[in-house]
């Protein structure tokens, strides 16, 4: 009781991540409290490690650039030495516009990840949502992409606000804490994403929808979907017909997901266009 062989779990995950994560999701509901704690500590690390391994992050998406110091940023002393020396030789303080500063270019991409938590939210479905969150959070950490994460059923819940700092471990923990219930309102989800992305600094604004897109309320989501500049949909391969129809009608790109382990690559493919 209360024992968990982490090396054995990692070996099993290397052979079959989907089955291993599904088993761990079930173990996280075990009556043994100590086992639940061990699983809760292991699962986020396992998911983040696999997401990091499975995706190519575009580290160069945001880079330091040199600007005139009167335009803001932090003073670049090395690059300003010549101007400082010339000013001292003239017995005057250097003008701000003669100095050089460095500043980060603004993020090029903002992503709002929408996670469908309606109905049952456990096992493979919960692990898939956590992997999506991990992949997006790692991208945000490595390329300074702006990220928001919103869970939805008939209502919406902001797990990560676009303006908040992004840490992959925190985001994954919040997703793993989701419980499924309620009807599905794509309209509410898409409007929440629009509100999040409205505050983005990036020019490219992406809504990433993780759902089978089977609407169970009486609100047509297509008007809200068509208002998005870039809508991407990821649906389970075993149940993607409604998602494909919705994406075509909304002018969105769609991908079907066969395995949890394949999710980072699927996301990279969608985001690369």
| SS3 assignment for the chain | CCCCCHHHHHHHHHHCHHHHHHHHHHHCCCCCHHHHHHHHHHHHHHHHHHHHHHCCCCHHHCCEEEEEHHHCCEECHHHHHHHHHHHHHCCCCCCHHHCEEEEECCCCEEEEEEEECCCCCCHHHHHHHHHHHHHHHHHHHHHCCEEEEEEECCCEEEEECCCCCCCHHHHHHHHHCCCCCCCCCHHHHHHHHHHHHCCCCCCEEEEEEECCCCCCCCCCCHHHHHCCCCEEEEEEHHHCHHHHHHHHHHCCEEEEECCCCCHHHHHHHHHCC
Q: What is the pLDDT of residues 96-116, one digit of tens each?
A: 888 888 765 656 899 999 999
Place of tokens 């599904």: 22
Q: Has this prediction a pTM greater than 0.75?
A: yes
Q: What is the pLDDT of residues 122-175, one digit of tens each?
A: 789 999 999 999 999 999 988 778 999 999 999 999 999 999 999 999 999 999
pLDDT of residue 59 exceeding 50: no
- The string over 193-220, giving b where at least 16 C-beta atoms fall within 10 Å of a residue's C-beta and e elsewhere, is bbebbeebebeebbbbbbbbbbbebeee
| pLDDT at res. 19 | 93
Q: What is the pLDDT of residues 178-216, one digit of tens each?
A: 988 889 999 999 999 999 999 999 989 999 999 999 999
Please, what are the domains in the chain?
Answer: 6-51 (no CATH), 64-104 (no CATH), 107-271 (3.40.50.410)
pLDDT of residue 4 exceeding 80: yes
| pLDDT at res. 195 | 97
């Amino acid at each position: 009781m209360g024992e968990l062989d982490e090396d054995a779990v990692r070996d099993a995950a290397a052979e079959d991540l989907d089955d291993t994560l599904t088993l761990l999701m079930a173990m996280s509901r075990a009556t043994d409290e100590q086992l639940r704690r061990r699983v809760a500590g292991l699962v986020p690390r396992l998911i983040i490690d696999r997401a990091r391994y499975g995706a190519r992050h575009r580290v160069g998406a945001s880079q330091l650039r040199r600007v005139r110091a009167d335009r803001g940023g932090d003073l670049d002393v090395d690059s300003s030495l010549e101007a400082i020396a010339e000013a001292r030789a003239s017995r005057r303080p250097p003008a701000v516009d003669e100095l050089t500063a460095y500043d980060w270019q603004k993020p090029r991409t903002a992503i709002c990840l929408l996670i469908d938590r309606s109905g049952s939210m456990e096992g493979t479905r919960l692990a898939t949502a956590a992997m999506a969150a991990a992949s997006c959070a790692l991208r945000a950490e490595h390329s300074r992409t702006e990220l928001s994460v919103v869970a939805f059923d008939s209502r919406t819940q902001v797990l990560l606000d676009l303006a908040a700092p992004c840490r992959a471990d925190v985001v994954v923990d919040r997703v793993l804490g989701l419980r499924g219930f309620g009807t599905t309102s794509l309209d509410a989800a898409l409007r929440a994403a629009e509100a999040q992305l409205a505050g983005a600094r990036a020019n490219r604004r992406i809504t990433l929808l993780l759902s089978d897109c089977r609407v169970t309320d009486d609100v047509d989501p297509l008007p809200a979907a068509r208002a998005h500049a870039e809508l991407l949909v990821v649906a389970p391969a075993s149940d993607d017909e409604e998602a494909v129809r919705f994406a075509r009608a909304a002018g969105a790109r769609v991908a079907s997901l066969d395995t949890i382990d394949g999710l980072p690559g699927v996301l990279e493919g969608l985001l690369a266009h």
